[in-house]
Amino acid sequence: MELLLYCGLPGAGKSTYYKLHHVDTHIRLNLDMLKTRERERLLLEAALQAKAKLVIDNTNPDVLSRSLYIQAALQARYQVICYWFCAPFEEALARNDLRTGTARVSRVGIASIAKQFITPSYEEGFHEIHRVHTLDHHRYNLERSIDLSISEVKHEV
């Protein structure tokens, strides 16, 4: 049983990565799709009880937002793996500009998430942390189980 927790700016490539790599193996929880925290909570609880493989596909920019999922997964005896999509601010903005309608996030919204973003750490309860670099719309470079002692990243806004 595993929970994959994605974190990164809007436009970093999280949802596309899910569609390319985890759509056939993991249930996706995404607040944009579910619309409310209550719906998300109910689906999370049901999936954990069913022992289903999960992906949390949200920005999860800080320790508090990630802790809700991590603690629930650890209590259910899941392996918790972070996929950190570390796209620079300008790259995330450029990819976001290709979106249309409600999928597009305002520049101010992305800047706000960038300012509050805290690099994920093993102290949060992750068993593994993978850093994902989005190369283009369908290509990624995945660094597995990275050493975060040299990976502190701040987004330039």
Q: How many CB atoms lie within 10 A of CB 108?
A: 8
Query: Which pTM value belongs to this model?
Result: 0.88
Q: Is residue 153 predicted with pLDDT exceeding 80?
A: no
Enclosing H/E stretch for 132 = strand 128-136
Which has the closest alpha carbon to 129: 120, 137, 138? Answer: 120
84 residue type, one letter: W
Identify the pLDDT of residue 62: 97
Spell out the CATH class of 2-150: alpha beta
Q: Is residue 150 predicted with pLDDT exceeding 50?
A: no
| Euclidean distance between CA atoms 91 and 137, whole angstroms | 11
**Pairing state between β 2-8 and 54-57:** parallel
Domain locations along the chain: 2-150
Q: What is the mean pLDDT of the chain?
A: 89
Identify the pLDDT of residue 129: 96
Instruction: List pLDDT tens digits, range 62-107.
Output: 999 999 999 999 999 999 999 999 988 888 888 888 887 877 888 7
